[in-house]
Amino acid sequence: MAFLSARVQGVLDHWQALVYVVLVFFAICWLAQALRAWFRLRHVHGPFSASFSNFWLIRHVSAGVMHLDLAEVCEKYGSLARIGPDTLVTRDPEIWKRMLAVRTPYKRSDWYDAMRLDPSRDNVLSEKNDDKHTELRAKMAAGYSGKENENLEETIDRNVSAFVQLINTEYISSSSAFKPLDFGRKSQYFTLDVISDVAFGNAFGFLETDSDVHEYIKTTEENLPAIIMVSVLPWLNWALQSPILKSLLPSDKDQLGLGKIMGIAKQVVGERFGPNKKSQRDMLGSFIRHGLTQKEAESETLVQILAGSDTTATAIRATMLYIITNPRVYTNLLEEIDSVPLSSPIQDSEARKLRYLQAVIKEGLRIFPPVTGLMTKVVPPGGDTINSLFIPEGTKIGYCAWGMFRNKKIWGEDADVFYPERWLEGPIEKIQAQEATLELIFGYGRWQCLGKSVAMIELNKIFVELLRHFNFAIIDPTDPWHSVNVGIFMQSEMWVRVSRRGSLQESSHQTSRLASS
Reported as a single tens digit per residue, the pLDDT across 168-213 is: 999 999 999 999 999 999 999 999 999 999 988 889 999 999 999 9
Query: What is the share, in percent, of the chain residues with pLDDT greater than 70?
Result: 87
CA 65, 70, 71, 72 torsion: positive or negative?
positive
Mean per-residue pLDDT, 484-488: 92
Q: Are 473 and 496 in contact (CB under 8 A)?
A: yes
Relative to beta strand 489-492, strand 482-485 is antiparallel
pLDDT of residue 129: 94
Q: How many CB atoms lie within 10 A of CB 415?
A: 16
Reported confidence tier of residue 515, pLDDT bands at 50, 70, 90: very low
Is 74 annotated in some ligand binding site?
A: no
Torsion angle of C-alpha atoms 359, 364, 370, 371, degrees rounded to 10 = 60
Mean per-residue pLDDT, 254-264: 85
Query: Which residues have C-beta within 8 Å of that of residue 209, sequence separation ≥ 6?
Result: none
Mean per-residue pLDDT, 10-18: 61
pLDDT of residue 8: 54
Amino acid at 249: L
Lowest mean pLDDT among 24-28, 51-55, 278-282, 391-395: 24-28
CATH topology of domain 127-394+449-515: Cytochrome p450 (1.10.630)
Mean per-residue pLDDT, 229-253: 72
The enclosing H or E element of 397 equals strand 396-399
pLDDT exceeds 80 at position 508: no
pLDDT exceeds 50 at position 514: no
Q: How far apart are CA 433 and CA 430, in angstroms?
A: 5
Best mean pLDDT range from 61-65, 153-157, 277-281, 504-508: 153-157
Mean per-residue pLDDT, 130-145: 92
Reported confidence tier of residue 215, pLDDT bands at 50, 70, 90: very high
pLDDT of residue 228: 81
What single-letter DSSP state applies at residue 380?
Answer: P
The angle subtended at Cα 194 by Cα 466 and Cα 442, nearest 5°, is 90
337-360 confidence digits (pLDDT tens): 999 999 999 999 999 999 999 999
- The domain locations on the chain are 127-394+449-515
pLDDT exceeds 60 at position 16: yes
Q: Are 410 and 435 in contact (CB under 8 A)?
A: no
Mean per-residue pLDDT, 389-418: 96
Helix (H, G, I), strand (E, B), or coil: what is residue 489?
strand
Measure the N-to-C terminal CA separation of the chain; round to a whole number of Å.
93
Query: Which residues have C-beta within 8 Å of that of residue 470, sequence separation ≥ 6?
Result: 167, 168, 172, 498, 499, 500, 501
